[in-house]
Amino acid sequence: MIKPDAVKDGHSGAIIKMIEEAGFRIVALKKTHLTAARAGEFYAVHAERPFYNDLCNYMSSGAIVPMILEKENAVADFRTLIGATNPANADEGTIRKLFAKSVEANAIHGSDSDENAGIEGNFFFAHTEQY
Protein backbone atom coordinates (compact mmCIF):
# COMPACT_ATOMS: atom_id res chain seq x y z
CA MET A 1 0.00 0.00 0.00
CA ILE A 2 1.43 3.33 -1.07
CA LYS A 3 0.74 5.72 1.81
CA PRO A 4 -0.75 9.25 1.78
CA ASP A 5 2.56 11.15 1.85
CA ALA A 6 3.94 9.37 -1.22
CA VAL A 7 0.64 9.61 -3.14
CA LYS A 8 0.33 13.33 -2.32
CA ASP A 9 3.91 14.00 -3.43
CA GLY A 10 3.30 12.35 -6.81
CA HIS A 11 5.53 9.31 -6.27
CA SER A 12 2.95 6.59 -7.01
CA GLY A 13 4.12 6.09 -10.60
CA ALA A 14 7.81 5.86 -9.69
CA ILE A 15 7.04 3.40 -6.88
CA ILE A 16 4.85 1.18 -9.09
CA LYS A 17 7.63 1.18 -11.71
CA MET A 18 10.17 0.02 -9.10
CA ILE A 19 7.78 -2.72 -7.97
CA GLU A 20 7.24 -4.03 -11.52
CA GLU A 21 10.94 -3.80 -12.36
CA ALA A 22 11.69 -5.89 -9.26
CA GLY A 23 9.62 -8.69 -10.81
CA PHE A 24 6.29 -8.37 -9.03
CA ARG A 25 3.08 -8.99 -10.98
CA ILE A 26 0.22 -6.63 -10.11
CA VAL A 27 -2.85 -8.74 -9.31
CA ALA A 28 -4.98 -5.78 -8.15
CA LEU A 29 -4.47 -2.02 -7.80
CA LYS A 30 -6.60 1.04 -7.08
CA LYS A 31 -6.52 4.55 -5.63
CA THR A 32 -8.80 4.97 -2.62
CA HIS A 33 -8.84 6.40 0.90
CA LEU A 34 -9.41 5.19 4.46
CA THR A 35 -11.44 6.73 7.26
CA ALA A 36 -9.58 6.81 10.58
CA ALA A 37 -11.85 3.96 11.78
CA ARG A 38 -11.03 1.82 8.77
CA ALA A 39 -7.31 2.59 9.15
CA GLY A 40 -7.70 1.46 12.75
CA GLU A 41 -9.16 -1.84 11.55
CA PHE A 42 -6.30 -2.34 9.11
CA TYR A 43 -3.71 -1.66 11.84
CA ALA A 44 -5.65 -3.35 14.68
CA VAL A 45 -2.54 -5.37 15.57
CA HIS A 46 -0.89 -2.08 16.64
CA ALA A 47 -3.87 -0.90 18.74
CA GLU A 48 -1.86 -0.89 21.99
CA ARG A 49 1.11 1.00 20.54
CA PRO A 50 1.62 4.65 21.54
CA PHE A 51 1.71 5.70 17.87
CA TYR A 52 -1.62 3.99 16.96
CA ASN A 53 -3.90 7.08 17.01
CA ASP A 54 -1.43 9.21 15.08
CA LEU A 55 -0.98 6.37 12.60
CA CYS A 56 -4.75 6.12 12.04
CA ASN A 57 -5.03 9.89 11.54
CA TYR A 58 -2.08 9.93 9.16
CA MET A 59 -3.35 6.93 7.15
CA SER A 60 -6.72 8.67 6.68
CA SER A 61 -5.16 12.04 5.73
CA GLY A 62 -5.15 11.44 2.00
CA ALA A 63 -5.44 8.94 -0.83
CA ILE A 64 -3.65 5.60 -0.72
CA VAL A 65 -2.84 3.07 -3.45
CA PRO A 66 -3.33 -0.51 -2.22
CA MET A 67 -2.10 -3.37 -4.39
CA ILE A 68 -2.01 -7.13 -4.39
CA LEU A 69 1.33 -8.35 -5.73
CA GLU A 70 2.52 -11.78 -6.79
CA LYS A 71 6.03 -13.19 -6.94
CA GLU A 72 8.04 -16.16 -5.67
CA ASN A 73 9.18 -15.24 -2.14
CA ALA A 74 7.05 -12.09 -2.41
CA VAL A 75 6.85 -11.09 1.28
CA ALA A 76 10.61 -11.23 1.90
CA ASP A 77 11.55 -9.74 -1.47
CA PHE A 78 9.07 -6.89 -1.03
CA ARG A 79 10.46 -6.07 2.40
CA THR A 80 13.93 -5.92 0.85
CA LEU A 81 12.64 -3.61 -1.90
CA ILE A 82 10.90 -1.20 0.50
CA GLY A 83 13.62 -1.09 3.19
CA ALA A 84 13.46 -0.58 6.96
CA THR A 85 10.36 0.93 8.64
CA ASN A 86 12.38 3.94 9.72
CA PRO A 87 13.82 5.54 6.57
CA ALA A 88 16.88 6.60 8.60
CA ASN A 89 17.76 2.89 8.76
CA ALA A 90 16.69 1.99 5.20
CA ASP A 91 19.31 0.83 2.68
CA GLU A 92 20.25 3.04 -0.28
CA GLY A 93 18.02 2.47 -3.30
CA THR A 94 15.05 1.18 -1.30
CA ILE A 95 11.61 2.75 -1.72
CA ARG A 96 11.59 4.13 1.81
CA LYS A 97 15.11 5.54 1.50
CA LEU A 98 14.04 7.32 -1.69
CA PHE A 99 10.54 8.48 -0.74
CA ALA A 100 9.78 8.20 3.00
CA LYS A 101 9.68 11.30 5.19
CA SER A 102 9.64 9.78 8.68
CA VAL A 103 9.03 6.54 10.58
CA GLU A 104 5.27 7.28 10.38
CA ALA A 105 5.05 8.83 6.90
CA ASN A 106 7.19 6.06 5.47
CA ALA A 107 5.77 5.94 1.93
CA ILE A 108 4.71 2.32 1.74
CA HIS A 109 3.46 -0.69 3.70
CA GLY A 110 4.26 -4.32 2.99
CA SER A 111 2.57 -7.39 4.47
CA ASP A 112 4.70 -9.30 6.98
CA SER A 113 3.55 -12.85 6.10
CA ASP A 114 1.71 -14.75 3.36
CA GLU A 115 -1.25 -15.13 5.70
CA ASN A 116 -1.46 -11.38 6.39
CA ALA A 117 -0.98 -10.63 2.68
CA GLY A 118 -4.16 -12.64 2.03
CA ILE A 119 -6.06 -10.88 4.81
CA GLU A 120 -4.84 -7.40 3.78
CA GLY A 121 -5.55 -8.04 0.08
CA ASN A 122 -9.10 -9.07 0.89
CA PHE A 123 -9.46 -5.96 3.08
CA PHE A 124 -9.22 -3.79 -0.06
CA PHE A 125 -10.30 -5.96 -3.00
CA ALA A 126 -13.24 -8.20 -3.84
CA HIS A 127 -12.29 -11.59 -5.24
CA THR A 128 -13.58 -10.48 -8.65
CA GLU A 129 -10.97 -7.66 -8.64
CA GLN A 130 -8.04 -10.04 -8.07
CA TYR A 131 -6.77 -11.31 -11.39
Interface contacts to ligand CMP, rule CB under 6 A: 46, 51, 55, 85, 103-104, 106, 109
- Residue nearest ligand CMP by beta-carbon distance: 109
CB of 46 to ligand CMP, least distance (A): 6
Please provide residue 37's backbone torsions phi and psi, each rounded to the nearest 5 degrees: -65, -40
CB 26 within 8 A of CB 131: no
Indicate the residue among 28 and 107 with the shorter CB distance to ligand CMP: 107
Which of 108, 101, 103, 90 is CA-nearest to residue 18? 108
Q: Closest CB to ligand CMP among 44 and 127?
A: 44
97 is known to lie in a ligand binding site: no
Minimum CB distance to ligand CMP, residue 49 (Å)? 7
Q: Which is nearer to ligand CMP, 61 or 85 (CB)?
A: 85
128: which DSSP letter? Answer: G
* Separation between Cα atoms, residue 106 and residue 117, nearest integer Å: 19
3-class SS shares of the chain: helix, strand, coil, % to 5: 50, 10, 40
Give me the least distance between CB of 131 and ligand CMP, in Å please: 25
Residue ranges for the known binding site for ATP are 3, 51, 79, 85, 96, 106
